[in-house]
Amino acid sequence: MAQKVQFVETVLRDANQSLIATRLPFEKFEPMLSTIDEAGYYSIECWGGATFDVCLRYLNEDPWERLRKIRAAVPNTKLQMLLRGQNVLGYAHYPDDFVKLFVKKAVENGIDIIRIFDALNDVNNLKVAMEATINAGAIASGCISYTTSPVHTHAKYVQMIKELKEMGASTICIKDMAGIMGPKEAYDLVSAIKDAVPGMPIDLHTHSTTGLAFMTYLKAVEAGVDIIDTAISPFSGGTSQPATETLAYALRQLGYEVDLNDAACKKMADYFKTVRDDFIKDGTLMPKSMATDTQCLTYQVPGGMLSNLLSQLKQMNALDRLDEALLETPRVREDMGYPPLVTPTSQMVGVQAVRNVLDGQRYKTVSKEIKAYCRGEYGTTPAPINPEIREKILAGEKPLEGRYADTLAPVVEPTREKLGDLARSDEDVLSYIAFPNLAEKFFEERKAKEENVATYSIVEA
């Protein structure tokens, strides 16, 4: 029998996060949900990552309601989310009670697969979320954040995969968030994992940023990868994933089994072309996000980070300093112990690189997140943090020992009591814990809107 290759469609999450900073509202893709459900995907990545934050901050949407509406319109395909381990969907570590309840509610509201990663590949930051996912009856996809550095080796990645399997992972994801994995690296790493954990399904996630992605996927499939992440063609390329239709065509031609419905994919592509063009017209989708940039092989900036970096510099009227910020990024990364550049470390390193460039002096100003990172609140770094930089940032403060989450008091019950009637459900409580200011503003606006509607209805009657 021909080897089967399955597809994860990313247009509802990572593709639009990478190209348009996650500004895709529900109403823009709602007409296509039934077609996406008919396309034959292994899963649809539709939640997690930056979607939760952006729904509340920019789109005026309840992220939980958004998920429920997607679930109702997509009854036949598994829904997938990206979870940042102990960070959940935020940018700092949360207490275990929050992690457990969030995972439970995500599954109750429609999620089938939770892809769980840690920005430092510290497995201690994955255990609680992995256990909660399994207890909730969902598929736990253990993830390695792929990067290259003097301290990242295939042997270390394989050891991490073995630990993830012991923790109960049903599938493994290799998350190449910067698109820096080449075809040989993909072939060798997938082969090594297949040898180490036979029978474990492997999903490869990469980006087209550097132009390597199509070659990388083909060699990964040759090595036995089971699932690949792709984006429908209008939202593919650049900092996004490679095109779904192109890879389906190529893999079939090479003799692999692909179950995608071509008619459904064409309908999706036709529709999302108009959506993409709207974002080009209003300036949300910038040409740099659509281009191939081989410099990423040096500075390793992932797609979502690059689009956010562009937005940040644009707001500061400093787009002309982009090259300087990109060159500073690997220097900051080395100082910080070679963390993989994925949320939240990508934002932390990127923001620090911009500050170093605009200040004209390295580490003159430091974010609270970088200080917390240097204290050890994000876990064990792949390599030691530059001791001189760490001392400068901490100014004599001693780093933490052990798992930071163990020092955090439970937060769910106190927050329930604090919010009272303002929170109508556990989902509201979770939204508030994750993003208190954004959630409170959303709750108040929701209440005001409902009161206005009620008043209007009385007047009309």
In this predicted structure, what is the pLDDT of residue 294? 86
> For 274, phi and psi rounded to 5 degrees?
-70, -35
The CA distance from 77 to 72, in Å, is: 11
Whether 262 shows a pLDDT value over 80: the answer reads yes
- pLDDT tens, residue by residue, 310-335: 877 888 899 999 989 989 989 999 99
The residue assigned the tokens 């500075």 is 299
Whether 455 shows a pLDDT value over 80: the answer reads no
In this predicted structure, what is the pLDDT of residue 304? 61
What would the mean pLDDT of 290-302 be, rounded to a whole number?
A: 81
Q: What is the largest CA-CA distance in the chain?
A: 72
What would the mean pLDDT of 140-149 be, rounded to a whole number?
A: 96
Whether 296 shows a pLDDT value over 90: the answer reads no
The residue ranking higher by pLDDT, 448 or 381, is: 381
For the four alpha carbons of 379, 381, 387 and 389, in that order, the dihedral sign comes to negative
In this predicted structure, what is the pLDDT of residue 457? 59
Please list, in sequence order, all residues whose beta carbon lies within 8 angstroms of the beta carbon of residue 31, skipping any fewer than 6 positions away. Answer: 271
Please list, in sequence order, all residues whose beta carbon lies within 8 angstroms of the beta carbon of residue 271, skipping any fewer than 6 positions away. Answer: 31, 32, 35
- pLDDT tens, residue by residue, 87-100: 999 888 999 999 99
- pLDDT tens, residue by residue, 207-244: 999 999 999 999 999 999 999 999 999 999 999 999 99
In this predicted structure, what is the pLDDT of residue 289? 87
In this predicted structure, what is the pLDDT of residue 138? 98
* pLDDT interval class at 202 (50, 70, 90): very high
**Taking each helix axis from N to C terminus, what angle separates 262-281 and 244-253, rounded to the nearest 10 degrees?**
150
DSSP H helical ranges for 340-384: 345-359, 368-375
Whether 454 shows a pLDDT value over 70: the answer reads no
**Percentage of the residues of the chain whose pLDDT score is greater than 90:** 83
In this predicted structure, what is the pLDDT of residue 179? 93
Whether 147 shows a pLDDT value over 90: the answer reads yes
Read off the amino acid at residue 101.
Answer: L
> pTM for the complete prediction?
0.92
In this predicted structure, what is the pLDDT of residue 280? 96
In this predicted structure, what is the pLDDT of residue 447? 87
In this predicted structure, what is the pLDDT of residue 311? 77
In this predicted structure, what is the pLDDT of residue 92? 87
Whether 155 shows a pLDDT value over 80: the answer reads yes
What would the mean pLDDT of 381-391 be, rounded to a whole number?
A: 96
In this predicted structure, what is the pLDDT of residue 103? 98
* pLDDT interval class at 369 (50, 70, 90): very high
* pLDDT interval class at 364 (50, 70, 90): very high
In this predicted structure, what is the pLDDT of residue 340? 93
- Chain Cα centroid distance, residue 65: 20
